[in-house]
Structure 1
Amino acid sequence: MSESSESTIESGGIGLSEDALRTLKLVADDEPIPDDDPGLRDLRALHAVVPNTHRPGHWILLDPQQTAHNLLWRGIEEVTGILDRLTHVPKITEALTVEHERGRWRDGVGSEYIEHADQINARLDQIMASATEELLTAQPRKRSKSLLTMALPRDSALLERGCKMRTLYPYSARVGVHEPKWMREMAKRGAAVRTLSIPFPRMIIVDRRHAFIEDLVFDSSPPHSGWYVTDRPVVEWMSMIFDLYWTRADPWSEPLDQAGRLTNPIQRSILRELVAGLDQKQIANRLQISEKTLSNHLTDLRTKLRFKTTYQVVHWWATAAENSSALELRDGEPFPNFPGTEGP
C-alpha cells in the first residue's frame, strides 16, 4: 500500500487514495482484481465494494449514497465514543487530585492527614502518654458508650500524672445517656468540665503543642478522619479559640438557670439561631438536641412570657436585656486576650 493510501485509510481519514481511484476504475470496468491489491483494500475499508460471488476475482461497486450513509454513521459512532470517554475526564481528574492532595498534605511539615479513627486514637494515645501540662478537648457531638469507656482510663492516667484537663461538651450532654456518668467520674478526678449551648468545633489539644482536628479538606473522606497538627503558631491559635468558647460555657457542677432571668443558656442560643434565619430542624442539629427538646424550650418561653406564638417570643428577644453576649461570660472571667487587641 502506498503512503498516501495508508494516511487516508488506516490513520482514520476518509478519502480515496491514488491506489483506490485506480482500482475503482477496474471495478467499474468489471476487470479482475487480485485480493492483495492495495487499492482494493482501501475500497473494502470504505465498504464501497463487495465481492461478486458468481465471478471470483471480480467486485461489485455499491450505491455511492449508501456508502456515504454508512461512512456518516461510522463517523457519528466514533465521535459518540470519543465524547463518552471525555465525560469521564472530570471524574478521573477529581480522583487523581484527591489522592495527589492527600499525599502532598500527608507529608506536610506542620500537619498530617489521618484517615481512620483507630489510627487517630493510636496516635492520640501515644501523644497523651507523654503529656506533661494540659489536655483540652472540645466534643460538640454525642459520644458513644464505647468511646467514653475507652477514654476514661487514658484521661484518668493523665490526671494522675498531675496534668490539667479541661473538656467542653454540648448542653445536650447534661441529659445524655452516657456523657453525664463520664462527666461525674472525670470531675471527681480533678478534670474541669463545662457545657456550651452554642455550636463549637471539635478539637483535642495536648500541651498546646499537639492538636487533632476534623478534616475539612477532602469532601469524600471517612466521617472520623482528621488532621494531626504540630505547627506551633496554629496550635497556639487553636488554644486561644478553645479558651474563647471556655469562657462562655457553664461548669458542669453549677445549675443552669440563673436568678432574675427568663431564659437559660440553651434558650438564648435557640433564639439567636431563629433570628439568624435557621429553622427548628437546623437549630436542633446545630445544638445537638432533639426537635422535641427544642419545642419544649420554646413552649416554656411562650408560657413564661404569656405569648401565643414563637414569633412574639422572637420579637420580644430582639429588645430584651437578656439578648447580650455578656451574659454568656462567666462571672469575673474576661474574654481571652487576643493578640493585637490590647488597649493603650
Structure 2
Amino acid sequence: MPEDAERIMDESDSYPDISRPPVLTDVARALLRRVLKAEAICADDPGFAELDRLGVLVREPYRKNVYTLAQRSHIEDQLRGAAETQMVKASQFAAGIRPFLDSIDHESAQFCGDISRSNRESYFINGVDGVHEVMSSVTYAAESEILAVQPGKRKRHLLEASAPRDIKLMQRGVVMRTIYQRVNLPVAHVRRYVARLSEVGGHFRVTDAPLIKMVMIDRSHAFIPDVAGGRTHVAGAWHVRDPGVLGYIAELFEYEWMRSAPWDEADTPIEYDDENDPDVVPETKPITTPRQRTILRGICSGHSYDQIARMLGFKGVRTIGDDMAELKAKKGFSTNEELAFWFATSPDCAVKDD
C-alpha cells in the first residue's frame, strides 16, 4: 500500500465513521447523561472519546473537568467538517493514484527501455474550470516540488483561496518556488500571501521581463497555455506529461529563476487594490468591551446564552443579548454567526483580558 494511503487511513481514526449515520453507544449515552447532570468527567472515562469525536462536548472554561452539551449547530458543524475533511483526503488519495502508477511505469522503463505512450501523452483541457479541476487534483497529490510562473498582477480572491492549501502542502514537505512580475511587489494582498507562505518555507522572486504562465508539479505534470494554437487562457490549457518536454520546461524555469531577483519589499510603497482590504484601515484599539469579548469567546466555544449567563453569574440572558445587539449594530451584522466569525479572525480576539 502506498505510504499516502497508510497515512490517510491512520488519520481517519480520529474522525467519526462516515460510512454510516452517527449514533451513540450505550456507554457514550450514559456518560452524556452525567454531563447533563453537571457531573465532573475526564478524558479517560468510557465513552468520552466517542463523544469528543462527534463534537458533542464543550469544555467549560472556568471549571475543571466540567463539560456541557454543545449547541445543535456546533455539533452539526463539527460532523459536517469531519465528513468534508475525510472526503478531501479521499480525493487526495484518488488524485495520487495516477502519479503512483506513473512512477511504477518509470521504474519499469529502467528495465524495459520505454514508458507506455498513454502515460506520457500531453492533452488539451477545455475551459478554465476543467483546468482548475485537473490541476487541483494533481496539486493536492504533490510529493516534492511545485514550480510556478505567474504573469500579471495576482488577484486577491485567488490568493486567499489557495493559501490554506499551499501552506498544508509545504508543511507536508513540498517545496514551492514562484516567479512573479515586479508589478505585484507593492500590492497589499500579494504581500500578505507571500509573507504567510514564506513563514513555512515558500520561495518567491520577481522580474520585469514578460512571462508566460506555467505550473509544474513534481516535474511530472505541467500546465501551460495554448501558445502555439493561439487560444486564450479562458479556452483552457495543455496538461503536459511527456518526460522530454517536462525536462525542457523545468530547465527554462531554472534559467528564469536565476535571472529573477529575490522578493524584497524594502523602499516599495504599499498599494491597496480593494477598498475593503483589511489593511486599509487598521484598527488600533479593540472595538469590543471585556464583557463582550468574554461572551463572544463563549459563543465561539459553542455555549448558549443560558450557559454563558450562568458562567458570568447573570440571572438572565437579557444583558448578554443587549451586548450582542449593540455590537452587531456597530459592525453592521444581522446574526451571531457573522459576529462570531468576525471576532474569531479580528485583533480583538487576541486581546488578553483578566
TM-score strictly above 0.5: no
Higher alpha-carbon Rg: 1
Normalised by the length of structure 2, the TM-score is: 0.40
